[in-house]
Structure 1
Amino acid sequence: MTDISHSFTLKAIRLPGIGLWKQANWIVRIATLVGLALVVLSVAAPLVAPFDPNDQSLISRLRPPLGFDRYKDGFFLGTDELGRDILSRCTFGLRLTFALALAGACISLLIGGTLGLVAGLAGGHLDDLIMGLVDAQIAIPMTLIALLTLSVFGSSIDIMILVLGIYGWEQFARIIRAEVKKLRQMPFVEAAQAAGAPPLRIAFVHVLPNVVSPIVVQFTLNFSNIVIWESTLSFLGLGVQPPTATLGSMVGTGRDYLPTAPWIVLAPALTILLLTFAVQILGDWLRDHADVRLRSR
């Protein structure tokens, strides 16, 4: 009996993940493997990077990657204009870019999701007030907000997280509000209200599970957009300041050497492309499996 129970428990734990993997097409599987590789690479950056990302060696500056003339042993992806190892800087840059994008997307979800849920459930003047804030956020270019914030408070990592966190929260608010307003007319929500269920129970038990799908999709879109937005700010010199490496700052500093040393730009740009590709594909796939309405068909 013990063996049977143990076997049943293992099957109950393992089979869902195996089933999802078997249902996924080859593009999703590639995106999953790419995403896992990037996550592992970012987490294990201190162990994987062959050199300190900030170590300079002017004698070794602008060395090409492995397989080209003037390649220097150990610098597999070449070196930049200051002789720093591109592979090490990409690894640590990926780590910081990933952390900034994840923190920013979570803050955006928290702000926009909370306001959208409150607006959709409350209605009335509170709904009008929240949507007025959303319209104001849309009307003001995010570039101006970022420039003002970074010029006043500086370009520290904490300030960058704050700037990235207020990017895209209005999209969460609008989408979740629209979904909640639609769900309020559904029979199961009306039945819960008629049965005397408190507002918090209605929100977290009956409404939120049915808005997981648009939240997942918007989160992945926002994550990818924040990666590009952080790269843009760093490219313009407004992001995390040197010598700390992010993928965007590496592209920004390497653009002047693009004709003679393209590997300085290609390595971080390809990393950005792979990261956004994996997140977008996985987000779309998770949307299909998280939507309770699709599963019920």
Structure 2
Amino acid sequence: MTTFADSDILPRCKKNRLDFIQTIAITISVILFAAALFAPLVVPFDPLSQSLMTRLRPPMGFERFASGHFAGTDALGRDVLSRSLYGLRLTLGLAFAGAVIGLLIGGTLGLIAGLMQGWVEDTIMSLVDMQIAIPFTLVALLILSLMGSTLTVLVFVLGIAGWEQYARIVRAEVRRLSSLPFIEAAWTTGAGPIYIAWHHVLPNLISPLVVQFTLALSNIVILESTLSFLGLGVQPPQPSLGSMVGLGRDYMPTAPWIVLTPVVLIVALTFSVQILGDWVRDRADVRLRDR
């Protein structure tokens, strides 16, 4: 007699629920990325335009609602929705730039460590261990305090935030691939490290690197928001999601909508990108594709 636990009903229900969550997350991701990309075309107001006559107006549906300001206005009369969409645009741009820099640094060092081995590998992996051991938020605060909170410095800080994860993944994959017959055959035929890395190793690293890129993107969004919230990230009047939360925290008791919109965007962005990363992993890993 087949029991409920032995049947395939429960696994199918779990799979359908997971597919539903992934569909929602992917939809949210597409909407957020499109809103950030086309922000100049869809925002109702200039995000830097001030109007003291309409300051601290609540969102649509409340008394004293100012026409057109659907998410309300801040302490200087600036439209919260417009600033949030521009802040999303800037935050995503910084996150993408940081993730690409981390990918290039970590991927290159991991590739060198996996191919060269010996003292070169030991040195690189020691740097990886140091990066993991030290809380990076403290390092970021120190760098920004000493070098200034310019966008160039901020991109640099975000770029070195997660390179060690790429290095560990690439190094492990290279070590695994090095033991396979086609790599050993390439070595025996006299192929050099650069040729083997470009033609044999890198094509097999695309899948895990894409997965790590999507997962690292949400972590960098949170880091940028934290630094901007503390006043060491994006500087006023340029809006970012974290700086908007930082500037609006003093008005939480009287005007919570100033903080609500950017917080919702941060949560939706990190959630959807994390689920998107899991979806990419499931599609890229042949061992998980049929489960």
- Paired residues of 1:112 and 1:169 also in contact (CA < 8 A): yes
The answer to whether structure 1 residue 257 and structure 2 residue 251 are counterparts is yes
TM-score normalized by the length of structure 2: 0.88
The alpha-carbon deviation at position 141 of structure 1 amounts to 3.0
Q: Deviations over 1:245-289 (max 9, x none)?
A: 000111111112222211111100111111112211222111222
- Could you say which residue in structure 1 is the equivalent of 2:209? 215
Amino acid across the alignment from 1:146: A
- 1:198 corresponds, among 185, 188, 192, to 192
Determine the structure 1 residue equivalent to 2:260.
266
Contact 1:105 1:219 in 2 (8 A): yes
> CA 1:272/1:248 → structure 2, altered by over 3 Å: closer, same or farther?
same
The answer for unaligned runs of 5 or more in structure 2 is: 1-17
Where in structure 2 are the equivalents of 1:98-113 lying within 5 Å?
98-113=92-107
Identify the range of structure 1 (157-166 vs 190-199) with the bigger mean alpha-carbon deviation. Answer: 190-199
Once the two structures are overlaid, the 10-residue window that deviates more, 112-121 or 272-281, is 272-281
Match of 2:218 in 1: 224
The 5 Å alignment of 1:14-29 reads 25-29=19-23
Distance in 2 of aligned mates of 1:62 and 1:261: 7
Matched, 1:283 2:280: no
Structure 1: distance between partners of 2:92 and 2:45: 20
Cα deviation digits, residues 173-222 of structure 1 (max 9, x gap)? 11221221122112232223223333223223322233333322221221
Q: CA deviation at 1:62?
A: 1.2
Q: Distance in 2 between matches of 1:193 and 1:266?
A: 58
Unaligned runs of 5+ in 1: 1-23
State the TM-score, normalized to the length of structure 1: 0.86
Q: Among residues 96, 109, 112, which one is paired with 1:115 in the alignment?
A: 109
Is structure 2 residue 232 aligned with structure 1 residue 238? yes
2:7 is matched with which residue?
A: none
Q: Are the structure 2 counterparts of residues 258 and 51 from structure 1 closer, same or farther at C-alpha, using a change threshold of 3 Å?
A: same
Taking the aligned partners of 1:281 and 1:143, their CA distance within structure 2 comes to 24
> What is the aligned partner in structure 2 of residue 125 from structure 1?
119
Deviates more, 1:57-66 or 1:208-217: 208-217
Structure 1 CA distance for aligned equivalents of residues 57 and 188 of structure 2 = 72
CA positional deviation for 1:44: 1.4
C-alpha distance in 1 between matches for 2:274 and 2:51 = 38
Runs of 4+ that moved beyond 6 A: none
- C-alpha distance in 2, partners of 1:198/1:275? 43
> In structure 1, what is the equivalent of residue 163 of structure 2?
169
- Partner residue in 2 for 1:144: 138
What amino acid does structure 2 have at the position aligned with 1:110? L
Q: Cα 1:203–1:112, aligned 2, differ >3 Å: closer, same or farther?
A: same
2:63 to 64, 69, 90: 69
Identity %: 64
Greater alpha carbon shift after TM alignment, 163-172 vs 174-183 = 174-183
Deviation for aligned residue 1:132: 1.9
Q: Residue 135 in 1 paired to residue 142 in 2? A: no
Determine helix, strand or coil for the equivalent of 1:229.
helix
Structure 2 vs 1, CA of residues 293 and 121 (structure 1 numbering), >3 Å: closer, same or farther?
farther
Query: Is the CA contact (8 Å cut-off) linking 1:209 and 1:292 kept in structure 2?
Result: no
Structure 1 partner of 2:50 = 56
Task: Say if 1:271 and 1:295 are closer, same or farther in 2 by CA, change over 3 A.
Answer: closer
2:22·2:276 contact (CA, 8 Å) conserved in 1? Answer: yes
Equivalent residue for 1:89, pick from 83, 87, 93: 83
Does the 8 Å CA contact 1:288/1:294 hold for their aligned counterparts?
yes
Distance 1:139 1:81 in 2: 41
Give the Å deviation of 1:148: 2.6
Q: 1:80 aligns with which of 63, 74, 77?
A: 74
Partner of 1:6: none
Counterpart-to-counterpart distance in 2, 1:286 and 1:135: 27
